[in-house]
Amino acid sequence: MSVTSTHIEKWKTYSEIIIVWFTIMTTLFGGGYALFQYTENSKAERAKETLKFIERFDKDKFSNSCHMIDPVFDSIEKATREKYSENAKGMSLLDEDKEFLEYLKETINANELLPHLNNIFDFYDQLEACSIASLCDTKLATRFFGKYAFYIVGIIYPYIEMLRKESGDRLYGAGIEYFFNEYKKQLNENKGDQPKNRFLTPS
């Protein structure tokens, strides 16, 4: 075999190797780009689903329930803070305070708020299911709905626990508690402006 033929064979081999590697790199790049596109599209879809919940909350019965609940809960918060403001052990006693639980029951019953609370809990249950199934963006949902969950659960957690025991349903109010905890995580991650500490925090 001549020198020229040997060189040709070598270059042929090198070319085949280069083509193989080029094909591999192109496939990897194409796969990576496809994965990137899929991820971005998935994020966009999750955000879109979350925005649907925002629209529902503004227009549906949930918004009306909030208008019924908020003034009463503001008064509960104010009254409870005044009662326990000089307590040396602070708010940690509230979850064991039967008098406080009775006060919550009487106030919620007198204002016929339980149906409105159930509306809010149902909404958060649906939002939690959407988030856990990765159909909604949990961070975006928490940004919009976490603070309100923090507000509600922080004030009436003993009442929620009471209803769980009475009904035998440990998942009652699970959705709103889920976003209570998600909001707490975000507060811990972002040490900037934070709302006042509420009375109670689920374990």
The tens digit of pLDDT for each residue in 112-155 reads 999 999 999 999 999 999 999 999 999 999 999 999 999 999 88
Q: At a CB cut-off of 8 Å and minimum separation 6, what does 42 contact?
A: 134
Which class for 28: exposed (0-12), middle (13-18), buried (19 or more C-beta within 10 A)?
exposed
Give the domain extent around 136. 46-189
26: in domain: no
The tens digit of pLDDT for each residue in 66-121 reads 999 999 999 988 887 766 554 444 444 454 578 888 989 999 999 999 999 999 99
140: in domain: yes
State how many domains the chain has: 1
123: in domain: yes
7: in domain: no
Q: Which residue has the tokens 């649907």?
A: 52
Q: At a CB cut-off of 8 Å and minimum separation 6, what does 80 contact?
A: 94, 100, 103, 155, 199
Q: Is the pTM of this model over 0.85?
A: no
**Distance in angstroms (rounded) separating the CA atoms of residues 198 and 101:** 16
In contact, 142 and 94? CB cutoff 8 Å: no
133: in domain: yes
180: in domain: yes
176: in domain: yes
142: in domain: yes
